[in-house]
Amino acid sequence: MKSHLNLSQRAINTKESQIREASRYCGKYGAINLAQGLPDFPAPEALKIAAQQAIAADHNQYADTWGLEPLRIAIAAKMQRDNHVTVDPDTEITVCCGATEGLNIALMAILDPGDRCLIFEPFYENYIPNLATVGGIPEFITLQAPNWEITKEMLDQAFARGLKAVILNSPANPTGKVWTLAELELLAEYCDRYDVYIITDEIYEYILYEGNHISMLSLAGMSDRTIVVNGFSKTFCVTGWRLGYTVANPTLTAAMRRIHDFLTICAPAPLQYAALAALAFGQDYYQNMAKDYQRKRDLLFSALKDIGLSPVLPKGAYYIWTDSSVLADDANAAALRLAKEAGVAAVPGNCFTNPNCDRTNGLRFCFAKQDSTIQAAVERMARYAKR
Ligand SMILES: Cc1ncc(COP(=O)(O)O)c(C=O)c1O
């Protein structure tokens, strides 16, 4: 028997990430990497010191499986302050290995193989492989640039297909869409009517330029069916720490905790102590971060317009989405052309869209980069535009 015949269906259905593939051709063509969604600048000094101190103080063994108690208390206080929801740190919060684990334990807790889960496209690329892992079937609603609006007609059609869950991401990767209260209320009404769970990925909640972040959990009556997935990666510039958390009612939390315990036991113990320092930051930290990202966004946005692309100004998160048809008919060819000819790498749009569509349009640029990195990319693109 050939060894590949022994693989599980879930392994076969899990395709390699094209975002990392885009990063690989950065090396090949010497392109500046605006593809992968991680900052190239340092984490806050206070966090690095807190992590070093936690290791020196020998917090190096398994932590409480559900997360360090003071950290769960601090997350509950943050939820009260910023999301206007009261949650019990003992029974409703689970600290896990990044929002990535949070999303996986949420899906494992509520989906059986064959269950249908709605996602809004363009979507964060992990959602499809994460659904493949549990045998969930993705159902898509395709949102259109520049407003990425949802309509009742779209929801009528999608919910009529028989859903068990919806994954919502606001502010969204890759579009920068920030869901309004009216949109959240509309989606909540459908979830209530059809008895559907909502997993809400709020990892970019503080990276916001326009509008307000409203957590789905804060809407009246939604605590029965909402799982919040969040984490420290983006807000505190520590994507490598792998610290995230889920917030959900005690029944959902108990189910996710059982799975989390046997999947990873706990999130990194010393970094949970360091995360306490992060949650003690004042409002100025969040305001300065959003201001810094807005400056980076504006710099990159004008450069993309100047080379003839049609970028959509994001309201949140740290990505810019643009139509790519001036570069090539197909997104892969557009990304390759930009890397080879302009020396700038972006992610082709098909990472974020229904895998069964053969041809896609669109590129995603990440601007979580030092100003000097963005400036260098802008200069390259300006030179390319003049050719
Ligand atoms: C929408 C979204 N959710 C989750 C994650 C992963 O978060 P974490 O590092 O906490 O696993 C990312 C990372 O890019 C993301 O863009």
Write the pLDDT tens digit of every residue in 67-109.
999 999 999 999 999 999 999 999 999 999 999 999 999 999 9
125 Cα: distance to centroid of ligand 1 (angstroms): 10
- pLDDT tens across 22-72, in order? 777 788 899 999 998 889 999 999 999 999 999 999 999 999 999 999 999
5 Cα: distance to centroid of ligand 1 (angstroms): 32
Cα(7)–Cα(356) distance, integer angstroms? 22
pLDDT score of 343 more than 60: yes
Protein residue with least CA distance to atom 4, ligand 1: 99
Cα(233)–Cα(318) distance, integer angstroms? 13
267 lines ligand 1 (CB under 6 A): no
- pLDDT tens across 111-169, in order? 999 999 999 999 999 999 999 999 999 999 999 999 999 999 999 999 999 999 999 99
- pLDDT tens across 286-329, in order? 999 999 999 999 999 999 999 999 999 999 999 999 999 999 99
Cα(256)–Cα(250) distance, integer angstroms? 10
User: What structural domains does the chain harbor?
Assistant: 3-43+284-386 (3.90.1150.10), 45-279 (3.40.640.10)
Helices (H), 69-168: 69-83, 98-110, 127-134, 152-160
99 lines ligand 1 (CB under 6 A): yes
174 Cα: distance to centroid of ligand 1 (angstroms): 11
100 Cα: distance to centroid of ligand 1 (angstroms): 6
Is 203 exposed, middle or buried, given 0-12, 13-18 or 19+ CB atoms closer than 10 A?
buried
Indicate the DSSP class of residue 139: E
Residue burial 28-43, b: 16+ Cβ < 10 Å; e: rest: eeebbbbbbbbbeeeb
Task: Label residue 358 by pLDDT band (50, 70, 90).
Answer: low
pLDDT score of 11 more than 90: no
126 Cα: distance to centroid of ligand 1 (angstroms): 8
In order of 206, 253, 299, 341, the CA distances from 337 in angstroms are 34, 46, 22, 6
- The residue behind tokens 């950290």 is 71
Task: Label residue 205 by pLDDT band (50, 70, 90).
Answer: very high
Of 190-199, 222-231, 256-265, 346-355, minimum mean pLDDT range: 346-355
Q: HSE (CB half, 13 Å, CA atoms) of 96?
A: 28
In order of 92, 206, 301, the CA distances from 76 in angstroms are 9, 16, 36
The pLDDT, as a whole number, for residue 3 is 54
What is the pLDDT averaged over residues 372-384? 93
244 lines ligand 1 (CB under 6 A): yes
pLDDT score of 1 more than 60: no
pLDDT score of 386 more than 80: no
Percentage of the chain exceeding pLDDT 70? 98
Angle, CA of 201, 300 and 212, to the nearest 5°: 35
Cα(63)–Cα(266) distance, integer angstroms? 6
Protein residue with least CA distance to atom 13, ligand 1: 37
Which atom of ligand 1 approaches the CA of 103 most closely? 4
The pLDDT, as a whole number, for residue 387 is 75
pLDDT score of 350 more than 70: yes
What is the pLDDT averaged over residues 5-14? 85
Q: Hey, which residues does 146 pair with through a beta bridge? A: none
Q: HSE (CB half, 13 Å, CA atoms) of 21?
A: 11
19 lines ligand 1 (CB under 6 A): no
Cα(316)–Cα(176) distance, integer angstroms? 5
Task: Label residue 16 by pLDDT band (50, 70, 90).
Answer: confident
Is 106 within 8 Å of 246 (Cβ atoms)? Answer: yes
pLDDT score of 254 more than 80: yes
Cα 129 to chain center, whole Å?
A: 14
Nearest to 384 by CA among 86, 31, 24: 31
pTM comes to 0.96
Task: Label residue 359 by pLDDT band (50, 70, 90).
Answer: low
307 Cα: distance to centroid of ligand 1 (angstroms): 29
37 lines ligand 1 (CB under 6 A): yes
Q: Hey, which residues does 55 pair with through a beta bridge? A: none
170 lines ligand 1 (CB under 6 A): no
- pLDDT tens across 184-199, in order? 999 999 999 999 999 9
Q: Encoding tokens for residue 220?
A: 């009246």
124 lines ligand 1 (CB under 6 A): yes
Q: Is the dihedral of CA 342, 302, 369, 99 positive or negative?
A: negative
What is the pLDDT averaged over residues 355-367? 87
CB atoms within 10 A of CB 137: 16
Q: Is 198 left (phi over 0), alpha (psi -120 to 50) or beta?
A: beta
In three-state secondary structure terms, 90 is coil
Task: Label residue 217 by pLDDT band (50, 70, 90).
Answer: very high
Q: Is 317 left (phi over 0), alpha (psi -120 to 50) or beta?
A: left
169 lines ligand 1 (CB under 6 A): yes
In order of 46, 83, 302, 368, the CA distances from 56 in angstroms are 15, 34, 46, 31
The pLDDT, as a whole number, for residue 151 is 97
In order of 8, 9, 254, the CA distances from 5 in angstroms are 8, 10, 37
Q: Encoding tokens for residue 22?
A: 């885009």
The pLDDT, as a whole number, for residue 4 is 59
Residue 276's contacts (CB-CB under 8 Å, 6 or more residues apart) are 50, 68, 70, 71, 74
Which of 101, 230, 234, 367, when mutated, tests ligand 1's pocket best, judged by the most ligand atoms within 8 Å of its CB? 234
